[in-house]
Homo-oligomer: A and B are copies of this chain.
Amino acid sequence: MIVGVIGGGQLGRMLALAGIPLGLSLRFLDPAPDAPAREVGELLVGAYDDPALLDRLADGAAAVTYEFENVPVAAARRVGAVPDARALEASQDRLIEKRLFRRLGIPTAPIDDEVTSFPALLKTRRLGYDGKGQRLVETRPGFDPGHVLEGLVPFDRELSLIAVRGAGGETAFYPLIENIHSRGILRSSRAPAAAAPQARAEDYATRLLDELGYVGVLALELFDVGGELVANELAPRVHNTGHWTIEAAETSQFENHLRAILGLPLGSTAMRGEVVMLNLIGALPEPAALLGHRNVHLHLYGKEPRRGRKLGHVTMLDPAPETIRALSDLVLEQH
Chain A contact residues, CB within 8 Å of chain B: 13, 17, 20-23, 25, 39-41, 250, 259, 263-265, 267-268, 272-273, 287-288, 291-292, 294-295, 297-300, 302, 312, 317
Contact = CB atoms under 8 A, between A and B. Distances in A.
A317 B265 contact: no
A23 B259 contact: no
A287 B39 contact: no
Contacts of A22: 287, 298, 300
8 contacts: A17-B20, A20-B302, A21-B298, A21-B300, A22-B287, A250-B294, A259-B291, A268-B295
Contacts of A297: 21
Nearest to A288: B264
A292 B251 CA distance: 12
A23 B312 contact: yes
Contact of A272 (B264, B272, B291): B272
A207 B123 CA distance: 66
B295 A23 contact: no
Top 5 A-B pairs, shortest CB-CB distance: A23-B300, A265-B292, A21-B299, A268-B294, A265-B291
B21 A40 contact: no
Nearest to A294: B268
Contacts of A41: 39
A259 B288 CA distance: 9
Contacts of A288: 263-265
A267 B267 CA distance: 27
A17 B39 CA distance: 11
Contacts of A13: 20
Given A20-B302, A22-B298, 8 more contacts: A20-B39, A25-B39, A40-B40, A259-B291, A263-B288, A267-B291, A268-B294, A272-B272
A21 B17 contact: yes
A258 to B, nearest CB: 11
A271 to B, nearest CB: 12
Contacts of A317: 250
B295 A250 contact: yes
B250 A302 contact: no
A312 B20 CA distance: 12
A86 to B, nearest CB: 27
Contacts of A263: 288
A264 B250 contact: no
Contact of A287 (B20, B25, B264, B302): B264
Contacts of A299: 21
Contacts of A291: 259, 264-265, 267
Nearest to A311: B23
Nearest to A284: B23
Contacts of A39: 20, 25, 40-41
A13 B20 CA distance: 9
B20 A40 contact: yes
Nearest to A266: B291
A291 B172 CA distance: 15
